[in-house]
């Protein structure tokens, strides 16, 4: 007879547990249905323009973190303010290398006219029809060449290398001897 009561007690306990789970499920469903489709905080949300600005700032910070700083000159060196003879000579060399300069003209053993042109720190030989810096060589005469660029003709005359400024020219310095 006692087993019968245990069996009834177990069934009653299972029914009560199922009833509690049913109530809990109904409660969760009601809570889920009570959630509105739009948040009440939507007015405080971030708009697309602000998100773009934040992303730009983050990208800028990332770029600055990845940037490798290199220093080619000593920032405490006085030559940055006062140019030395070496600085002036380097500046003069850059100016000379930027010039397209006719160095020489000649006729080779086959009768072909050639021109030696110095540009960008190099001197190369050119013939009629060759191009230099988008200029086409049309004619080579003694001491001059004719170039065309976009339909306009220009002549380039034989010129020596421009002289060094007096501040850096070794020949302009006078040597003083102490006897």
Q: What is the CATH number of the domain that holds 141?
A: 2.30.30.830
Residue 112 lies in a domain: yes
Average pLDDT over residues 75-92: 72
Average pLDDT over residues 76-91: 71
Residue 16 lies in a domain: no
Task: Identify which of 97, 81, 78 has the alpha carbon closest to the alpha carbon of residue 89.
Answer: 97
Average pLDDT over residues 82-91: 77
pLDDT in tens, 26-44: 999 998 888 787 777 766 6
Query: To 5 degrees, how large is the angle CA 150–CA 94–CA 172?
Result: 125
Question: What is the average pLDDT score of the chain?
Answer: 82
Containing domain of residue 114, as a range?
80-157
Residue 53 lies in a domain: no
Using pLDDT thresholds of 50, 70 and 90, give the confidence band for residue 177.
very low
pLDDT in tens, 5-17: 888 899 999 999 9
Q: How far is CA 92 from CA 88, 131, 165, 166, 167, in A?
A: 6, 26, 8, 11, 11
Residue entry with tokens 């306990």: 13
pLDDT in tens, 119-142: 888 888 999 999 988 889 999 988
Residue 166 lies in a domain: no
Residue 57 predicted with pLDDT over 80? yes
Average pLDDT over residues 51-58: 90
The pLDDT assigned to 147 comes to 92
Specify the number of domains making up the chain: 1
């Amino acid at each position: 007879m006692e087993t019968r009561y245990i069996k009834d007690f177990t069934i009653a306990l299972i029914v009560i547990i199922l009833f509690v789970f049913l109530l809990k499920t109904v409660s969760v469903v009601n809570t889920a249905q009570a959630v509105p489709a739009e948040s009440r905080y939507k007015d405080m949300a971030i708009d697309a323009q602000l998100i773009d600005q934040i992303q730009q700032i983050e990208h800028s910070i990332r770029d600055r973190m990845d940037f490798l700083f290199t220093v080619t000159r000593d920032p405490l060196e006085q030559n940055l303010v006062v140019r030395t003879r070496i600085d002036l000579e380097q500046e003069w060399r850059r100016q000379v290398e930027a010039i397209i300069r006719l160095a020489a003209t000649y006729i080779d053993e086959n009768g072909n006219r050639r021109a030696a042109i110095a540009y960008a720190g190099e001197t190369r030989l050119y013939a009629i029809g060759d191009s230099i810096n988008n200029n086409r060589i049309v004619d080579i005469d003694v001491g001059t060449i004719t170039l065309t660029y976009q339909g306009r003709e220009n002549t380039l005359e034989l010129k020596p290398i421009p002289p060094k400024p007096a501040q850096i020219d070794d020949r302009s310095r006078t040597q003083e001897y102490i006897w």
